[in-house]
Amino acid sequence: MGKYIRPLSDAVLTIASDDLWIESSAIQQLHTTANLPDMQRVVGMPDLHPGRGYPIGAAFLLRRPFLPGTGRQ
Q: Is residue 70 part of a domain?
A: no
- Write 46-53 long-range contacts (CB < 8 A, 24+): 46/15, 46/16, 46/17, 46/20, 48/14, 48/16, 48/22, 48/23, 49/22, 49/23, 50/23, 50/25, 50/26, 53/29
Domain hosting 16: range is 5-61
For the stretch 25-46, pLDDT in tens is 999 999 999 999 999 999 999 9
Q: Is residue 69 part of a domain?
A: no
pTM for the whole structure: 0.83
For the four alpha carbons of 36, 13, 68 and 50, in that order, the dihedral sign comes to positive
The predicted pLDDT at position 65 comes to 80
The predicted pLDDT at position 18 comes to 83
Number of structural domains in the chain:
1
